[in-house]
Structure 1
């Protein structure tokens, strides 16, 4: 019975059911039509996940349970969901903190990643990519900060809605970095009736921003990220090539040994034939 309760199939089924319930319960019409049925299904799922964690801890011991990374993630998700267990006893929606923690229920769906094939390799690749991209992200942050400060100094009086303070400027420049619709802000500034020279400054500033931060910066970050994500495949291919090279060297060495042995055997046969011929000549004499 315990094996069934904590089996992967049971966990996956409950996660999918719980996710569907959470999805449907957010529709006002469905929520009113079901009259709390979905809430109690979600509540039962929370009880199950709490029971699952308890059974695993009892089965493997807390140290054994905690030693597995996915178990730690599951345990944190269960903890984030626990405030919702108080819902039948009190109006948790009256407390802002419970409204925030209520979102923790959504993390239960992320447990499905545990059952995705090669999930560990995927997350390891993401981790490597993030570590490798720290430098470029820091450079983009500094670039965004510098351009935001410059934008605030230059355009705060013209477009306070975009450059009224450094934070607004940083957000505006971040949108420019994404390249999507980067021209909308400078075009909007140009329509404010500013001088032709100022229009040139605005457009030049945004062209520099999109070239450095968008096309160059984000493209470089994307290239590094993808390269690190595929490094597993590269290492695998390199290992295969290395193994093949070593096997070829082994075969080549074996062939050379066989050739050497065959040549020595041939020389021995020739020597024996020569000795035999000399004996035959001596016998005739």
Structure 2
């Protein structure tokens, strides 16, 4: 009984050790990486199922040790829990020798387990400051990002209406049109679309197409994306000045306090 209790304690300490879990995450990523080569080895499937079992044990031990409330208070733990739940179908290989693994599309969700690799970020220096910077940048730029996607949506619908008959490979429906306009905004092969339209239409339509897509490139690509990037980057690096601003504030307070003391001393000297 004592040996069993000692073993359970050792197992608990092992799964509460972040470096051990880090090792499991790296091994898990390597297994998924190898599996995508389609080598046909059933051993890979069993290894994937084994990794799922180990992560289930990790969740069980941490919930038992910390309790549900403390466990789910961590965003990392919530992410882990969701990823493991959606990868549970990979365990079917243990009972079906892989037959279901080849037919059930839900089992492809096991690939989402690779997102556990994001936990490596926790071991980066000053990761908390980095995450706060990203959060602040998202809060500062969400309005301009929303405006950009509204612009993308509107121009995609207009482009679809104008050119779905001339260039169906780019604008045959709104979904394809959104992708094509976004590609245009990213300044990736932007000239190919108007040139193709010019080849398939008359001179007036060709001239208008070149003018139209040049305006889209300027408004959405050069100005739009640049504005989004500048606001996001500015918000991310703004915390670099927080400490300096705090020092300036403290220095200003000390100067005011010193000025008051000097005024008091001068007033006393005048009275005497």
Query: What is the TM-score with the length of structure 1 in the denominator?
Result: 0.80
1:240 matches 2:247: yes
Residues 47, 210 of structure 1: alpha-carbon distance in 2 compared, 3 angstrom cutoff: same
**Alpha-carbon distance, 1:213 to partner:** 0.7
The answer to whether residue 29 in structure 2 is matched with residue 19 in structure 1 is: yes
Greater alpha carbon shift after TM alignment, 89-98 vs 213-222: 89-98
With over 3 angstroms needed to count, the CA separation of the structure-2 counterparts of 1:174 and 1:257, relative to structure 1, is same
Q: Secondary structure of 2:204's partner?
A: helix
For this pair of structures, how many residues does the alignment match? 259
**CA-atom RMSD, angstroms?**
2.5
1:205 equivalent in alignment to 2:216:
no
Q: How does 1:14-163 map to 2 (within 5 A)?
A: 14-28=24-38, 31-32=39-40, 35-90=41-96, 91-99=100-108, 101-163=109-171
- Alpha carbons of structure 1 residues 55 and 190: separation in structure 2 relative to 1, 3 Å: same
Shift of the alpha carbon at 1:79?
1.4
* Residue-by-residue CA offset, 1:121-164 (whole Å, 9 max, x unaligned): 33333233223322222222222232223222322222122222
Give the corresponding residue for 1:7: 17
Distance in 2, matches of 1:41 and 1:240, equals: 55
State whether structure 2 residue 229 is matched by structure 1 residue 219.
no
**Bigger Rg, structure 1 or 2:** 1
The aligned residue for residue 273 of structure 1 is: none
Which runs of 5 or more structure 2 residues have no equivalent in the other structure? 1-9
Cα pair 1:70 1:114 within 8 Å, conserved: no
Cα distance in 2 for residues equivalent to 1:254 and 1:84: 74
TM-score by length of 2: 0.84
C-alpha distance in 2, partners of 1:260/1:244? Answer: 24
What is the rounded CA distance, in whole Å, between the counterparts of 2:219 and 2:175 in structure 1?
20
8 Å CA contact 1:132–1:228 kept in 2: the answer is: yes
What do the CA deviations read for 1:91-128 (whole angstroms, capped 9, x no partner)? 233112222x2222222212222333333333333233
Q: Deviations over 1:182-214 (max 9, x none)?
A: 11111122222x222221101000011011111
Instruction: Give 4+ residue runs of structure 1 displaced > 6 Å after superposition.
Output: 255-261
Stretch of structure 1 that moved more, 177-186 or 122-131? 122-131
Is 1:184 aligned with 2:197?
A: no
Alpha-carbon offset, residue 15 of structure 1: 0.9
Q: What SS class does the counterpart of residue 88 from structure 1 fall into?
A: helix
Instruction: Tell me whether 56-65 or 39-48 shows the greater mean CA deviation.
Output: 39-48
Which of 232, 235, 248 aligns to 1:228? It is: 235
